């Protein structure tokens, strides 16, 4: 039995080491997101053509009910966001019709559209942890290497990451660099002409972008008045030279007298994260690959980045890293808490030890069932594992507690153990069967929230089955060996021994 127990501990270590990690399972929430991004400077007509292709494809899918779109998301030209509503879960009973599978298939098939990058993604399992499911991180310029170096690092990462089949939906949320018209103001000429920057900016903003002037009443409603240059006079770069600025002397000075313009290439959006220039990158693992595995691949790619280029996980990815680091401490504290409670209950250090030796048996069952179903070590699994610790201890307590009572009545350790096993077998089976059948609907649940229910139900059911099947054979051995090796006595045992020693012999 000792060899079997050592084999169980070794199997627990191997399964824990090889079990993929993640933070939260993908949930089928009945809808998916569609992100459409065209190259910088793309026109609305070109965007609408791409959206028509995307809409025709999605509405032709049997899982889709409707598709709604919003163009120019966040004021960015050449981009759009779509929302796809899927049919109810009862109308999508097959695994191939689930939202994660649909998102992966749609992203792959919409890749034939060459004019745009179309990504179909799941919403985050918990709202507020990122804009979509998958991994999220910031690629940062820590040593002020410049925008071009950071851009090259971003392109290099995307290029290398796309070579890994485990990753999909790789993209950046930053706006791509685009051509821009830059206006250079000659400070000396502007000062000689008695011009101020406030006057120059006022004319530019009013002529090119529009300026709010005042309000007026129209049929009882207040409407705002904006002024802007007429379209024919703000279409070409040379049109700026036709605009004039009034100086302090009341004279009209043309822009050509103190400025020059030229075309350049730059980023329309400069993002910083914790004080450093950064790019936000997103992606997710393909169906069947855990987010922990995907994050390990990302870290391997980022390890070869030039010196001065760093990264930080954000959103759900940051929470996954933090929760993974805290899990061993959580398990240790939970087991210690149970041990101390049992020690206080039995006023003995050996009785709780024989109970806690049954914990690896339940953990083995949880790991076996989770691995067999292809699930991951996520937050729900960790909750189920803590529940399994209690279940394994409960089965052991049913035997140990009765054995301790029989031993206090004067029976030997061996006789007390054998009788306790025989008398407590039915209660163990009854409680284990009741709990196992109670969590079975979680194991096979479908629909909204099925990912979390499957994860926690599988872990608990596996722990219940294994702690029952092996526990009824191994727990008595644990109790017998621990009591025999340590030969410890609780206060009740001492009282019982003194009572037996002081009692007079009575003959028939």
β-partners of residue 281 are 137, 172
User: Shortest CA distance to 184 belongs to which of 237, 235, 147, 148?
Assistant: 237
**H or E segment and range at residue 69:** strand 64-71
Question: At residue 198, does pLDDT exceed 80?
Answer: yes
What's the token pair of residue 298? 């990302």
| Cα-based angle 265, 270, 274 (whole degrees, multiple of 5) | 150
Mean pLDDT value of segment 188-215: 87
CB atoms within 10 A of CB 103: 27
What is the model's pLDDT at position 131?
A: 67
Evaluate whether 354 touches 475 at the Cβ level (below 8 Å): yes
> How far is the C-alpha of 227 from the C-alpha of 164, rounded, in Å?
53
CB atoms within 10 A of CB 455: 27
Rounded to the nearest integer, the mean pLDDT of the chain is 83
What's the token pair of residue 183? 């206006």
What is the model's pLDDT at position 73?
A: 62
What is the model's pLDDT at position 488?
A: 47
Dihedral angle over CA of 358, 362, 367, 369, nearest 10:
150
Contacts of 303 (CB under 8 A, 6+ apart): none
What is the model's pLDDT at position 508?
A: 33
96-107, pLDDT tens digit by residue? Answer: 888 888 888 888
Mean pLDDT value of segment 200-215: 86
β-partners of residue 261 are 183
What's the token pair of residue 169? 């939906």
What is the model's pLDDT at position 26?
A: 80
**H or E segment and range at residue 399:** helix 379-408
Question: At residue 74, does pLDDT exceed 60?
Answer: no
β-partners of residue 265 are 179
User: Shortest CA distance to 378 belongs to which of 431, 319, 337?
Assistant: 319
What is the model's pLDDT at position 368?
A: 92
User: Shortest CA distance to 401 belongs to which of 465, 337, 492?
Assistant: 492
235-245, pLDDT tens digit by residue? Answer: 888 888 888 99
Domains and CATH numbers, the chain: 2-22+326-498 (1.20.1640.10), 28-121 (3.30.70.1430), 178-266 (3.30.2090.10)
CA distances for 170 relative to 138, 160, 284, 305, angstroms: 13, 11, 7, 17
What is the model's pLDDT at position 202?
A: 87
> How far is the C-alpha of 194 from the C-alpha of 258, rounded, in Å?
11
What is the model's pLDDT at position 76?
A: 63
Evaluate whether 140 touches 302 at the Cβ level (below 8 Å): no
Reported in sequence order, the residue ranges of 94-201 that DSSP labels E, i.e. its strands, are 117-121, 135-141, 167-172, 178-185
> How far is the C-alpha of 351 from the C-alpha of 354, rounded, in Å?
5
> How far is the C-alpha of 266 from the C-alpha of 398, rounded, in Å?
72
- pLDDT top residue among 208 and 504: 208
Greatest CA span in the chain, whole angstroms? Answer: 133
23-59, pLDDT tens digit by residue? Answer: 888 888 888 888 888 877 777 888 888 888 888 898 9
In DSSP notation, 203-247 reads HHIIIII-EEEEEEEETTEEEEEEE---GGGSSSGGGGGG-EEE-
Predicted structure pTM score: 0.72
Question: At residue 10, does pLDDT exceed 90?
Answer: yes
| Cα-based angle 72, 78, 82 (whole degrees, multiple of 5) | 55
What is the model's pLDDT at position 75?
A: 56
In DSSP notation, 320-372 reads HHHHHHHHHHHHHHHHHHHHHHHHHHHT-SHHHHHHHTTHHHHHHHHHHHHHH
What is the model's pLDDT at position 128?
A: 67
């Amino acid at each position: 039995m000792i060899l079997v127990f050592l084999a169980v501990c070794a199997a627990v270590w191997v399964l824990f080491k090889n079990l993929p990690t993640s933070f939260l399972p993908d949930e089928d929430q009945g809808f998916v997101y569609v992100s459409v991004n065209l190259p910088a400077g793309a026109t609305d007509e070109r965007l609408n053509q791409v959206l028509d292709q995307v809409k025709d494809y999605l509405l032709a899918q049997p899982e889709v009910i409707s598709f709604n779109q919003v163009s120019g998301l966040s004021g960015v030209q050449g981009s759009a966001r779509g929302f796809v509503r899927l049919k109810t879960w009862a109308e999508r009973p097959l695994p191939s019709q689930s939202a994660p599978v649909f998102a992966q298939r749609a992203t792959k098939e919409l890749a034939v559209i060459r004019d745009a990058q179309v990504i179909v993604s799941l919403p985050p399992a918990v709202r507020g942890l990122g804009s979509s499911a998958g991994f999220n991180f910031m690629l940062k310029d820590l040593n002020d290497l410049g925008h071009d170096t950071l851009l090259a690092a971003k392109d290099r990462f995307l290029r290398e990451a796309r070579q890994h089949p485990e990753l999909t939906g790789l993209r950046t949320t930053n706006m791509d660099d685009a051509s821009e018209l830059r206006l250079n103001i000659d400070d000396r000429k502007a000062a000689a002409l008695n011009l101020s920057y406030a006057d120059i900016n006022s004319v530019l903003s009013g002529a090119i972008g529009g300026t709010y002037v005042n309000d007026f009443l129209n049929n009882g409603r207040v409407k705002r008045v904006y002024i802007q240059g007429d379209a024919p006079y703000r279409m070409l770069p040379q049109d700026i030279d036709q605009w004039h600025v009034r100086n302090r002397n009341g004279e009209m000075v043309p822009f050509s007298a103190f400025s020059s313009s030229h075309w350049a290439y730059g980023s329309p959006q400069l993002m910083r994260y914790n004080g450093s220039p950064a790019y936000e990158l997103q992606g997710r693992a393909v169906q069947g690959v855990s987010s922990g595995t995907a994050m390990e691949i990302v870290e391997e790619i980022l390890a070869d980045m030039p010196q001065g280029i760093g990264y930080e996980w954000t959103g759900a990815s940051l929470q996954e890293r933090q929760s993974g680091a805290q899990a061993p401490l959580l398990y240790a504290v939970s087991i210690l808490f149970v041990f101390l409670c049992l020690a206080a209950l039995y006023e003995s250090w050996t009785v709780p030890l024989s109970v806690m030796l049954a914990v690896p048996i339940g953990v083995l069952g949880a790991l076996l069932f989770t691995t067999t179903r292809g699930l991951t070590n996520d937050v729900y699994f960790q909750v189920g594992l803590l529940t399994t610790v209690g279940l394994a201890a409960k089965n052991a307590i049913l035997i140990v507690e009765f054995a301790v009572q029989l031993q206090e009545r004067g029976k030997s350790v061996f006789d007390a153990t054998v009788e306790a096993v025989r008398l407590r077998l039915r209660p163990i089976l009854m409680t284990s069967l009741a709990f196992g059948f109670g969590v079975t609907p979680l194991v096979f649940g479908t629909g909204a929230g099925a990912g979390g229910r499957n994860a926690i139900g599988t872990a608990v059911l596996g722990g219940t089955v294994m702690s029952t099947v092996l526990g009824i054979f191994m727990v008595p051995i644990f109790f017998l060996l621990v009591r025999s090796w340590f030969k410890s006595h609780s206060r009740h045992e001492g009282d019982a021994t003194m009572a037996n020693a002081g009692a007079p012999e009575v003959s028939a």
